[in-house]
C-alpha cells in the first residue's frame, strides 16, 4: 500500500509539471515569438506607393515602409516568410486596426490628434513634408497658385483639405481611391497637381514610365510624422515596436532603407526622428 501511495504522488507531480510546461509554452507564443511558435503576423501596408509600399508584378513587396515593417516584425519574433501583407488604404486604416485585421500598420501613416483618438502610434520613424507634384512645364510654384486649379489626393487623406483650408480656398479638390489614379490624372491633364508627402511623390516621379514628366514643387507645406499604427489600448505592442525602431536606427538599417528606396529619386530626407518627438 505504501508503494502505491508514492507512485500516485509521483504521477500527480508529473501531471502538474506537464501542465506548467504547456502554460509556459502558450505564454511564450502569445508574447509575439512568432518564429518559435510558427505563427503568422498580419501587417498593413500600402500596395500602390512606389518607394513606400508597392506590390510588384511578381507578387513581392518593396518600399521603405515594407523594410521598416519587416525589421519590426523580425524584432517581434517573426521571419519574413511569416508576414502576411494586408493592403490598408488611407480611408480604412483605423477600421482595419479596430477590427483586428492587422497587428500593426506601416503605411505612410501620419500621426495627428484626430487619429490618436482612434488608434495608438509607435514612432515616429520618418519625418516627411507635404508637397506638390506637377508637370515639368507647370507654372505652379507655390501653394496659392492652386486657386482655380484641379488638385488631387486620395480619399481619407488630409493633404488636399489642408491646402484648401489654409492656402488655396478656391482649389478644386479631386479625391481618387489611390495615388496611382491621381498620377495618371496628372499625366492625362485631368488634374493640375497631386499633393501628398514628398517621399510618396518622389517615389512616383522616379518610376521609369514617368521619368522626366513631373517635378516636385519643393514646398514644405506641412510636417508629416510617420508612425506605426496599433490598435487602441495595445500599449505593450507600442513599446515593443518603439524598441525595434530605435534598434533599426542605431544599427544603421534605417539609413540603408532610406538610401535604397529614396536615393534614386534624389529625395532629401530628414534625419531619423526620436521616438515620441512629433514635429508640428
Give DSSP secondary structure letters for 3-42. HHHHHHHHHHHHHHHHHHHHHHHHHHHHTT-HHHHT--EE
Burial 247-266 (b: 16+ CB within 10 A, else e): ebbeeebbeebbeebbeebe
Distance CA(138)–CA(253), nearest Å, equals 37
- In this prediction, residue 265 carries a pLDDT of 67
pTM for this entry: 0.76
**Quick check: 86 and 94 in contact, CB under 8 A?**
no
Residue 2: per-residue pLDDT = 41
pLDDT at residue 6, rounded to an integer:
40
d(CA 267, CA 248): 20
Our CA angle for 109, 100, 110, nearest 5°, is 10
pLDDT score, position 28:
34
Question: Looking at residue 34, what is its pLDDT?
Answer: 61
Within the chain, residue ranges assigned H as helices are 2-30, 34-37, 64-75, 93-99, 113-116, 159-166, 179-188, 198-205, 235-251, 253-262
Residues with Cβ within 8 Å of 31's Cβ and at least 6 positions away in sequence, in order, are: 77
Which numeric CATH code is attached to 39-127+223-265?
3.40.190.10
Q: Cell numbers of 196, please?
A: 501628398
Q: How many CB atoms lie within 10 A of CB 108?
A: 27
Domain boundaries, the chain: 39-127+223-265, 129-216
pLDDT at 151: 97
Distance between CA atoms of residues 226 and 125, nearest Å:
6
Q: Quick count: other Cβ atoms within 10 Å of Cβ 213?
A: 15
**Domains 39-127+223-265 and 129-216 are alike in CATH topology:** yes
Given CA atoms 120, 255, 153, 170 in this order, what sign does their dihedral have?
positive
17-22-27 Cα angle (round to 5)? 125
CATH of domain 129-216: 3.40.190.10
Walk along the chain (280 residues) and give the pLDDT tens digit of each residue. 443 434 444 444 433 343 433 443 333 333 345 654 569 999 999 998 899 999 999 999 999 999 999 999 999 999 999 999 999 998 899 999 999 999 999 999 999 999 999 999 999 999 999 999 999 999 999 999 999 999 999 887 778 888 989 999 999 999 998 888 999 999 999 999 999 889 989 888 888 888 889 988 888 888 999 999 999 999 999 999 999 999 999 999 999 999 888 876 667 789 999 999 999 9
Amino acid at each position: 500500500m505504501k508503494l502505491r501511495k508514492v507512485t500516485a504522488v509521483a504521477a500527480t507531480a508529473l501531471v502538474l509539471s506537464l501542465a506548467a510546461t504547456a502554460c509556459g509554452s502558450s505564454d511564450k507564443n502569445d508574447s509575439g515569438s512568432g518564429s518559435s511558435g510558427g505563427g503568422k503576423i498580419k501587417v498593413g501596408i500600402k500596395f500602390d506607393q512606389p518607394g513606400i509600399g508597392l506590390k510588384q508584378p511578381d507578387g513581392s513587396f518593396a518600399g521603405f515602409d515594407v523594410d521598416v515593417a519587416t525589421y519590426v516584425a523580425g524584432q517581434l519574433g517573426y521571419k519574413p516568410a511569416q508576414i502576411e501583407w494586408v493592403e490598408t488604404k488611407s480611408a480604412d486604416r483605423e477600421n482595419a486596426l479596430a477590427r483586428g485585421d492587422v497587428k500593426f500598420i506601416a503605411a505612410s501613416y501620419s500621426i495627428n490628434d484626430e487619429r490618436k483618438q482612434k488608434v495608438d502610434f509607435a514612432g515616429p520613424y520618418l519625418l516627411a513634408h507635404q508637397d506638390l507634384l506637377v508637370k515639368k512645364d507647370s507654372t505652379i510654384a507655390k501653394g496659392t497658385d492652386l486657386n482655380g486649379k484641379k488638385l488631387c489626393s486620395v480619399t481619407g487623406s488630409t493633404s488636399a483639405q489642408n491646402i484648401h483650408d489654409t492656402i488655396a480656398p478656391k482649389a478644386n479638390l479631386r479625391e481618387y481611391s489611390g495615388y496611382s489614379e491621381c498620377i495618371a490624372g496628372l499625366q492625362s491633364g485631368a488634374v493640375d497637381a497631386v499633393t501628398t508627402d514628398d517621399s510618396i511623390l518622389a517615389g512616383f516621379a522616379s518610376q521609369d514610365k514617368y521619368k522626366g514628366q513631373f517635378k516636385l514643387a519643393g514646398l514644405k507645406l506641412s510636417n508629416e510624422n510617420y508612425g506605426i499604427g496599433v490598435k487602441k489600448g495595445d500599449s505593450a505592442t507600442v513599446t515593443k515596436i518603439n524598441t525595434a525602431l530605435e534598434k533599426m536606427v542605431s544599427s544603421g538599417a534605417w539609413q540603408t532603407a532610406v538610401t535604397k528606396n529614396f536615393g534614386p529619386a534624389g529625395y532629401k530626407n530628414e534625419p531619423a526622428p526620436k521616438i515620441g518627438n512629433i514635429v508640428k
